[in-house]
Amino acid sequence: MKKRTRSSVRSMGPSGSSKISPHKNGIHPTAIIHPQARLDEDVIVGPYTVVDRDVTIGAHTRIGAHCVVEGHTTIGQECEIFTGAVIGSIPQDLKYRGEKSLLIIGDRNKIREYVTINPGTAGGGGKTVIGSDCLLMAYAHVAHDCVLGDRVVIANSAALAGHITIEDRAIVGGLVGIHQFVRVGTLAMIGGCSRVVQDIPPYATCVGYPAKVFGLNREGLKRARIPSASLGCLHRAFRLLFHSQLSMSHALEQAASETSDDCPELEHLLDFIRQSKRGVCRA
pLDDT, tens digit, 9 for 90 and up, residues 239-266: 999 999 999 999 999 998 876 667 899 9
For residue 196, which of 166, 151, 240, 226 has the smallest C-alpha distance? 166
Indicate the burial class of 199 (C-beta count within 10 angstroms; 0-12, 13-18, 19 or more).
buried
Summarised one tens digit per residue, pLDDT across range 121-172 is 999 999 999 999 999 999 999 999 999 999 999 999 999 999 999 999 999 9
The predicted structure's pLDDT at residue 2: 52
Instruction: Give the angle subtended at the CA of 195 by the CAs of 269 and 141, to the nearest 5°.
Output: 95
Written in H, E and C, the secondary structure of 151-208 is CCEECCCCEECCCCEECCCCEECCCCEECCCCEECCCCEECCCCEECCEECCCEEEEE
The rounded distance, in Å, linking the Cα atoms of 173 and 127 is 25
Instruction: Give the angle subtended at the CA of 271 by the CAs of 270 and 275, to the nearest 5°.
Output: 120
The answer to whether residue 17 scores a pLDDT higher than 90 is no
* E strand or H helix at 254: helix 248-256
Annotated domain spans of the chain: 6-163
The rounded distance, in Å, linking the Cα atoms of 181 and 163 is 5
Summarised one tens digit per residue, pLDDT across range 172-228 is 999 999 999 999 999 999 999 999 999 999 999 999 999 999 999 999 999 999 999
User: 6-163 — its CATH code?
Assistant: 2.160.10.10
Indicate the burial class of 161 (C-beta count within 10 angstroms; 0-12, 13-18, 19 or more).
buried
**Positive or negative, the Cα torsion across 25, 26, 32, 35?**
negative
Region of 193 please: left (phi>0), alpha (psi -120 to 50) or beta.
Answer: left
Write out the catalytic residue numbers: 144-145, 162
